[in-house]
Chains A and B, each alone.
Chain A
Amino acid sequence: MSTPTGPITSRFDPRFEVTLYRHVGVEGAHTLEHYLARGGYRAARKALTGMTPAQVVDEVKASGLRGRGGAGFPAGVKWSFMPPVDGRPRFVVCNADESEPGSFKDRYLMEDDPHQLLEGMLIAGFAISAHVGVLYVRGEYYLAYERLQGAIAEARAAGLLGRGVFAAEATEETPAVAGFDFDIVLHRGAGAYICGEETALMNSFEGLRANPRLKPPFPAQAGVYGFPTTINNVETFCSVTHILDRGAAWYAAMGTADSKGTKLYQLSGAVARPGVYELPMGATFRELIFDLGGGPSESAKAIIPGGSSTPMLPWREDTLDLPMDYGTMAKVGSMLGTGGVIVIPTSQCMVDAMANVVRFYAHESCGKCTPCREGVSTWLPKMYQKLLAGLGTRDDLDLMEDMVRNLRGTAFCPLADACAMPVAASFQHFRHEYEHLVDHGEAMFPPRARWTA
Chain B
Amino acid sequence: MELPTLRPFFADKADVLQEILDRYPPYGRRSALMPLLWEVQRAERHVSEARLQEIAEIVGVTATEAKGVMSFYSTFHEHPVGRFHLQVCRTLSCKLAGADELYRHLVAETGLVSGETDADGRFSLQNVECLGSCGTAPVLQVNDTYHERVTRSRCDELLAQMRADREPPPTRERGGDNVAAAKADRMVGERRAADDAPVVPDAREGTA
Which among A24, A99, A142, A291 is the interface contact of B200 at CB below 8 angstroms? A291
- Which residues from B are CB-within-8-Å of A26? 181-182, 185
* Minimum Cβ distance to chain A for residue B59 (Å): 7
> Chain A interface (Cβ within 8 Å of chain B)?
11-12, 14, 16-18, 21-27, 29, 89, 98-104, 106-108, 112, 138-143, 185, 187-193, 204-210, 225, 266-270, 272-278, 291-294, 304, 308, 340, 342, 344-345, 348, 353, 356-357, 360, 363-364, 366, 447, 449-453
30 contacts between A and B (CB under 8 A): A17-B196, A18-B180, A21-B178, A23-B181, A101-B92, A101-B93, A139-B38, A140-B131, A143-B145, A188-B34, A191-B128, A192-B73, A206-B30, A207-B31, A207-B33, A210-B72, A225-B25, A267-B176, A268-B93, A268-B137, A273-B175, A273-B203, A274-B137, A277-B176, A356-B95, A360-B91, A360-B130, A450-B96, A451-B97, A451-B152
* Minimum Cβ distance to chain B for residue A450 (Å): 4
Interface residues of B in 60-107 (CB under 8 A from A): 61, 68-69, 72-76, 90-93, 95-102, 105
Give bound CA distance, A22 to B33, whole Å.
Answer: 37
- Which residues from A are CB-within-8-Å of B33? 207
Contact with A along B193-208 (1 / 0, CB 8 A): 0001111110110101
Question: Do B181 and A185 touch across chains, with their CB atoms under 8 A apart?
Answer: no
* Minimum Cβ distance to chain A for residue B23 (Å): 5
* Minimum Cβ distance to chain B for residue A155 (Å): 16
Question: Do B31 and A275 touch across chains, with their CB atoms under 8 A apart?
Answer: no
Question: Do A108 and B93 touch across chains, with their CB atoms under 8 A apart?
Answer: no
Question: Do A453 and B69 touch across chains, with their CB atoms under 8 A apart?
Answer: no
Give bound CA distance, A291 to B105, whole Å.
Answer: 35
Who on chain A is nearest to B178 by CB?
A25
Question: Do B151 and A141 touch across chains, with their CB atoms under 8 A apart?
Answer: no
Contact with A along B120-162 (1 / 0, CB 8 A): 0000000011111111111001001110000111000000000
> Chain B interface (Cβ within 8 Å of chain A)?
23-25, 27-28, 30-35, 37-38, 59, 61, 68-69, 72-76, 90-93, 95-102, 105, 128-138, 141, 144-146, 151-153, 170, 174-182, 184-185, 196-201, 203-204, 206, 208
Give bound CA distance, A98 to B177, whole Å.
Answer: 19
Question: Do B73 and A189 touch across chains, with their CB atoms under 8 A apart?
Answer: yes
Give bound CA distance, A424 to B133, whole Å.
Answer: 26
5 other A-B residue contacts (CB within 8 Å) besides A276-B135, A276-B177, A451-B97? A22-B185, A99-B129, A140-B131, A275-B174, A450-B101
Question: Do A104 and B134 touch across chains, with their CB atoms under 8 A apart?
Answer: yes
Question: Do B30 and A25 touch across chains, with their CB atoms under 8 A apart?
Answer: no
Give bound CA distance, A142 to B142, whole Å.
Answer: 11
* Minimum Cβ distance to chain A for residue B128 (Å): 7
Who on chain A is nearest to B71 by CB?
A209
> Assuming A191-B74, A450-B101, is B175 touching A274 (CB within 8 A)?
yes
Question: Do B132 and A99 touch across chains, with their CB atoms under 8 A apart?
Answer: yes
Which among B31, B92, B185 is the interface contact of A187 at CB below 8 angstroms? B31
Give bound CA distance, A138 to B75, whole Å.
Answer: 11
Who on chain A is nearest to B206 by CB?
A25
Give bound CA distance, A282 to B46, whole Å.
Answer: 47
List 7 tightest A-B contacts by C-beta distance, closest first: A275-B176, A451-B98, A275-B175, A25-B178, A190-B73, A207-B30, A207-B33
Which among B28, B32, B69, B201 is the interface contact of A225 at CB below 8 angstroms? B28
Question: Do A25 and B174 touch across chains, with their CB atoms under 8 A apart?
Answer: yes
Question: Do A89 and B25 touch across chains, with their CB atoms under 8 A apart?
Answer: yes
- Which residues from A are CB-within-8-Å of B153? 453
* Minimum Cβ distance to chain B for residue A285 (Å): 15
Question: Do A193 and B34 touch across chains, with their CB atoms under 8 A apart?
Answer: no
- Which residues from A are CB-within-8-Å of B90? 356
* Minimum Cβ distance to chain B for residue A19 (Å): 10
* Minimum Cβ distance to chain A for residue B64 (Å): 12
* Minimum Cβ distance to chain A for residue B148 (Å): 10
> Assuming A276-B178, A308-B92, is B129 touching A141 (CB within 8 A)?
no
* Minimum Cβ distance to chain A for residue B94 (Å): 9
Question: Do B144 and A142 touch across chains, with their CB atoms under 8 A apart?
Answer: yes
